[in-house]
Amino acid sequence: MDYFKILNMKREPFSNSPDPGLFCPSRSHVECLQLLEMAIRLRRGLNVVLGEIGTGKTTLCRKLIQQFSAAEDRDKVEVHLVLDPSFSTPEEFLASIAGFFGLILREALPTERQFKEAIKAGLFTKGVDEGRIVVLLIDEGQKLPDFCIEILRELLNYETNDCKLLQIVIFAQTEFEQAIRRRANFADRINLSYRLDPLSLVETGRMINYRIAQAREHSKAPLLFSWPAIYAVYRATGGYPRAINMLCHHVVLAMIIQNRVQASRSLVRSCAGRLTLLSPVPVRRGSNTAIAAVALAAALTLLALTLNKSASTGVLIGADAQTVIASPTASVVSHSKTRAAASHAPIISAKPVAPQPVVEKAAQPDASLRSTGAPSLLGQLPLDRGKNAWLNFMDIYASSDADLFRFFKQANPHIEESDEAGVGALLANIPAIPTLSGGATMRKSCCIQIDRLEHFEEAYRLFKTVHQADPIGVMLVPYWSSREGLAFVLLLKDRFPDRTLAAAALERLPVALRNTARIIDGWDEDTVFYRGFGETL
């Protein structure tokens, strides 16, 4: 469409068709796709994928087909797809399956039994004699009549001593669970049952930017959607991919009409208000209004940290994203963040000012921890313009603890106290200082994790923006364990004596946080907690 060239696009980014070339999977989509492929290759039989309307089941189905059609052993995998299983009779359903396998029955009007015998023979020929994996994908599985479910159960009985001869994957809306519960003999044959959830806020942003990057002439062009706009999309759609596509399509059209180069939050909300199929996701208001500020700050900052990395690339597994489904073995049937005062202040003496009283002394890093693999550094941060080592230290730790500053200086011998660092000219090493009492405190209570990150600078920038929005609401806790390695969790400062109270507090969080937040009530035995940011543990 030529009018998309106004925004330097070569194609429509938010098509409402299930194009696997625009598939930017969430964590659950990746996991589901991998589990399905393993189950099919292991010939485990029946697999069911459930999800609400618009969670991406059909696109996931197409992506699965694309992966098999691009695999090295594609000649050994035979995939057939039923788009609409609204069959009226058992014979009609069986005739479609027989047609997939190229079976021609001699009888003019074959009976149900004759169809089943022919299909059984065909499956043995393909699965045993030819060593092929035969896959039957059924989309819109909630439309399956009871007699079709019974036929599928019987087809699963066709097996060898090692495997099932027919691999079945049913993609259905959640009401299909009721049909499964009614048939215990069908339910006990399910190898994999997976539920697709809506996208999180970050995943929503990744999806939007990935689709735009795939559609643009120049992948490094500025982002079309501002971070507040992405947040508005998430609020309006609840993270459902189909609704995201629909809303973003109308936003892009509005941008073209209004000659805009970037979508704003107000534009998104205006477009959402005109779409009857989209309604804002209700936000439960808690008694602590600061948490709402944390929600928006955390959301926007996390997007700022992550979306730039994924604006021009996307995580894909299997075939190249641009590959179009084209497999000779696939067949289809269808029925129907303030730093104003500090940054402009004159440079002070290199000698530190008198420290404030210290509540808890930072523990000397124990050399014995090094032998376990625990790190000596959390990471690095660029020093700020116009600040010497002491001012940078206070800015980083929000503390004037002289002992802590000593550890900081030991980790940064390359930084002179009188240095005035330019932006990015010097990097400060952030020492990993174990806490004295943090471990015991953390282990005795339940915490609410807002997010978990693996890189210090990314986690620290997120914490700083959230902390400035709500100075008493959150803390950044670094920790290390042999299983997880070094990680950083952004936690609410509130602690809870049991999981029940923590769960009640979790439910009071805004939707934008609740989707990624979780309760932590246990840590690995060898976990080492380090001096945190925002609170002394």
Q: How far is CA 356 from CA 33, 219, 325, 359, in A?
A: 55, 50, 66, 9
All CATH 3.30.70.1070 domain ranges in the chain, comma separated:
438-529
> Are the C-beta atoms of 218 and 74 separated by less than 8 Å?
no
Q: Can you give the pLDDT at residue 312? A: 41
Whether the model clears a pTM of 0.75, i.e. scores above it, the answer is no
Q: Parallel, antiparallel, or unpaired: how do β-strands 331-333 and 447-453 relate?
A: unpaired
**Half-sphere exposure of residue 18, counting CA atoms within 13 Å on the CB side?**
16
Q: Which string of DSSP letters, residue by residue, matches 144-172?
A: --HHHHHHHHHHTT-B-SS-BSEEEEEEE
What CATH superfamily is the domain 27-196? P-loop containing nucleotide triphosphate hydrolases (3.40.50.300)
**From CA 49, how far away is CA 24, in angstroms rounded?**
18
Q: Which residues, other chains included, contact 467 with Cβ-Cβ below 8 Å and sequence gap of 6+? A: 398, 473, 474, 533, 534
Q: Can you give the pLDDT at residue 384? A: 64
Phi, psi at 333, each rounded to 5°:
-130, 140
Q: Can you give the pLDDT at residue 82? A: 93
Q: Can you give the pLDDT at residue 513? A: 63
- CATH fit for domain 438-529, picks 1.10.540.10, 3.30.70.1070, 3.60.10.10, 3.40.50.970: 3.30.70.1070
All CATH 3.40.50.300 domain ranges in the chain, comma separated:
27-196
Q: Quick one: DSSP state of residue 478? A: E
Q: Can you give the pLDDT at residue 386? A: 64
Buried b (16+ CB within 10 A) or exposed e, 237-257: bbbbbbbbbbbbbbbbebbee
What does the pLDDT profile of the chain (537 residues) look like in tens digits? Answer: 466 777 777 888 888 788 777 788 778 888 999 999 999 999 999 999 999 998 889 989 999 999 998 888 888 999 999 998 999 999 999 999 988 888 877 777 888 999 999 999 999 999 999 989 999 999 999 999 999 999 999 999 999 988 999 999 999 999 999 999 999 999 999 999 999 988 888 888 888 988 888 887 665 556 788 878 888 898 888 889 999 999 999 998 888 888 888 888 889 988 988 875 444 443 333 334 444 444 455 555 555 544 444 444 433 333 333 333 334 344 444 444 333 333 333 322 333 333 333 333 444 444 444 445 788 889 888 776 567 777 777 777 766 777 778 888 888 887 766 544 444 456 788 888 887 665 677 778 898 988 888 888 878 877 776 666 555 577 888 999 888 889 998 888 888 888 889 888 888 876 656 666 889 988 888 888 888 877 644
Q: Can you give the pLDDT at residue 424? A: 44
Q: Can you give the pLDDT at residue 438? A: 57
Q: Can you give the pLDDT at residue 176? A: 95
